[in-house]
Structure 1
Amino acid sequence: MDSDKYIEGQSMQRPPLFESDHFICWKNRFETYVKAKDLDLWHNILNGDFPPIDRNNVTQILEVVPIEEQSDDLKKKLAKNNKAKMVLYNALPKKEYERTFMCKTAKDIWQSLLITHQGNIQVKDNKINLLVQKYEQFTILEEEFIDSGFARSNTTITSLKALDEGFSSKNSVRKFLRALHPKWRAKVTANKESKDLSSLALDELIGNLKVHEVVMEKDSEIYKGKKERVKSIALKSKKESSDDETSTSRSDDEEYAMVVRNFKKFFRRKGKFVRQPREENKSFRQRDEKKEKSDRKCFRCVDPNHLIGDCLKPSRNKDQKAFIGGSWSDSENDA
């Protein structure tokens, strides 16, 4: 149980456990813890050890006092040098302790942690610039909840304040309103018109937006329910219409088939519309062709094997030739 509290930083008997991945967060928690325990310890961590000096009662000049001549008050004050180191060591894991155990003072340990995990002045300035850019470009996504967006925004602001003590978040309310998705435009306008944004606390704004978020979610659920019902009715109507069309088409096909059957029955009774066998049709065609060929013959020699144009027999007189020529010309005119 004690180890869980120690890891979570909930114990007042032990400092928050060092977190390299969340150094800025740990740094703020550790500072608060030390100040709550003893302000002199935090002064010692920032400014260095208390020197073993005291004011001479005769000369009123500050002088280094040998350990055997130190007063109880001075000894208690000097003991805080080691207490400050112990507070830091209790917060560090083994890896960080091994890296800093050669430091002589609590200030040296603290500065080593800052340079390693926060960077020097140049690195610190670069981090500040990146965080400022991230803060300015911050937007809340369309489907993102207000709590989630506020947590992301607050993380950026906290990191900026930890790196830059002069950073001011007085315009955070306006910035958060600008970061909202366009679907919040009506609510943003209402807040701007009804509230004094310069005095409105960010927590109050978040609470107001969360109430409106619940209303929007309920409206969305109602709209989705209506949309699903309309869609279901439309699909049902479409299915019924399709069934009616299929039934009508099937009925029309059946009526057409019945008419064709009755038509065939009628002609069968009359002896017509009887399909002849293929062999019989073939014999009829052959007979017609033979008859047509038997009627063909030469007008000059009456030979059925050729026509007069191919006949080799000479004509008997000119009148016959003229008669034949006239016959051909008449036939051509008729044609």
Structure 2
Amino acid sequence: MAKPSPEKMSSGSVSTGIFMADGFSQTRRPRFEGVHYGYWKNRMELFICSTDPDLWDIVLDGPLEVKEARGKWTYTDKKNFQLNSKATNLMYCALGPEEYHRVTGCKSAKEIWDKLQISHEGTSHVKISRINSLKQEFESFIMKPDESIREMNERFTTIVNSLRNLEVEYASADLVRKVLWALPKEWTPKVIAIEGSKDLTKLSLDELIGSLVTHEEKLRREELEEPKREKKGIAFKATSQQEELE
């Protein structure tokens, strides 16, 4: 079987969309085209740290200030310059054309990182406002009528991930309790059963959702079988009445 040409492989990768264009390669830097900044930010941090932890320090803290002329640099000065150059190159190479032009002129990886963060997350005041809004969504979160467990979990995960991108983390036990309390009244027996049989501090959110999905499917099967049982009951009653008449 013939292997696809590089052109076809390239066009295939583009057809999957800008968001997934870089795939999930461990060696290829995540590419940022201006959308899903929080997603890219987390992946870029992991990529830089896995490449060299010292590079991430340069991104966060910036390079050390060197006052001496380049010919008088010490080994530490040269190492610092090299790390900043490498981190800056990683940042620039990870950006699409529009984002690249947004940060053109930045001399350090920290400048690039900070400028992208302000552009896509806003200033600290805007960030705090966004955090407060998401926290309010988290606190008031409940399952909607006619919403499935999976649909509810998707909404909940979006809120939690958005807060995580803004450096707000909740303990696993708090997430589990929040989901249990978000369920409607008809789920009360199941909630009581879970709270009575499970240690919520050790129960993961994925395990909880899996258990709720299984219970939901069981309830759905029972609802489908209920009309059949009613029909059988009516038929049995009619048969009994007929036999009595006879």
TM range (shorter): 0.7 to 0.9
Give CA deviations for 1:78-103 in whole Å, capped at 9, x if unaligned: 22211111111122111111111111
Aligned pair count reads: 220
The yes-or-no answer on 1:162 pairing with 2:170 is no
**Take 1:72 and 1:11, find their aligned partners in 2: how far apart are those partners?**
34
Counterpart in 1 of 2:52? 38
2:131 corresponds to which of 106, 128, 132: 128
Q: Which amino acid aligns with 1:174?
A: R
Give CA deviations for 1:168-220 in whole Å, capped at 9, x if unaligned: 45411111001113332221111122222233222221121122122122212
**Take 1:165 and 1:189, find their aligned partners in 2: how far apart are those partners?**
29
The yes-or-no answer on 1:109 pairing with 2:123 is no
Give CA deviations for 1:266-290 in whole Å, capped at 9, x if unaligned: xxxxxxxxxxxxxxxxxxxxxxxxx
**Take 1:94 and 1:183, find their aligned partners in 2: how far apart are those partners?**
53
Shift of the 208–19 alpha-carbon distance from structure 1 to 2, 3 Å rule, reads farther
Q: 1:143 Cα deviation (Å)?
A: 2.9
**Take 1:198 and 1:168, find their aligned partners in 2: how far apart are those partners?**
9
**Take 1:168 and 1:104, find their aligned partners in 2: how far apart are those partners?**
38
Aligned residue runs from structure 1 range 50-89, under 5 A? 50-52=64-66, 66-68=69-71, 70=73, 75-89=78-92
Q: Which amino acid aligns with 2:50?
A: A
Counterpart in 2 of 1:16? 30
Give CA deviations for 1:283-319 in whole Å, capped at 9, x if unaligned: xxxxxxxxxxxxxxxxxxxxxxxxxxxxxxxxxxxxx
Counterpart in 2 of 1:91? 94
Counterpart in 2 of 1:48? 62
Give CA deviations for 1:127-186 in whole Å, capped at 9, x if unaligned: 001100111121223432322222221221121122134654541111100111333222
Counterpart in 2 of 1:266? none
**Take 1:77 and 1:46, find their aligned partners in 2: how far apart are those partners?**
14
Counterpart in 1 of 2:41? 27
Q: 1:110 Cα deviation (Å)?
A: 0.8
Name the SS for the 1:104 alignment partner. Answer: coil
Aligned residue runs from structure 1 range 138-149, under 5 A? 138-149=141-152
What do you get for the CA RMSD once the two structures are aligned?
Answer: 2.7
Counterpart in 2 of 1:118? 121
Counterpart in 1 of 2:3? none
**Take 1:169 and 1:205, find their aligned partners in 2: how far apart are those partners?**
11
Name the SS for the 1:138 alignment partner. Answer: coil
Contact 1:128 1:164 in 2 (8 A): no
**Take 1:145 and 1:224, find their aligned partners in 2: how far apart are those partners?**
22
Q: Which amino acid aligns with 1:18?
A: F
Shift of the 50–188 alpha-carbon distance from structure 1 to 2, 3 Å rule, reads same
Shift of the 72–212 alpha-carbon distance from structure 1 to 2, 3 Å rule, reads same
| Identity rate, percent | 37
Name the SS for the 2:24 alignment partner. Answer: coil
Larger radius of gyration: 1
Give CA deviations for 1:208-261 in whole Å, capped at 9, x if unaligned: 11221221222122124456x58x98xxxxxxxxxxxxxxxxxxxxxxxxxxxx
Contact 1:131 1:160 in 2 (8 A): yes
Once superposed, which parts of structure 1, at least 4 consecutive aligned residues long, lie more than 3 Å away? 1-6, 64-77, 164-170, 224-227
Counterpart in 1 of 2:244? none
The answer for unaligned runs of 5 or more in structure 1 is: 53-63, 234-335
Q: Which amino acid aligns with 1:181?
A: P
Counterpart in 1 of 2:241? none
Q: Which amino acid aligns with 1:81?
A: N
Counterpart in 2 of 1:222? 225
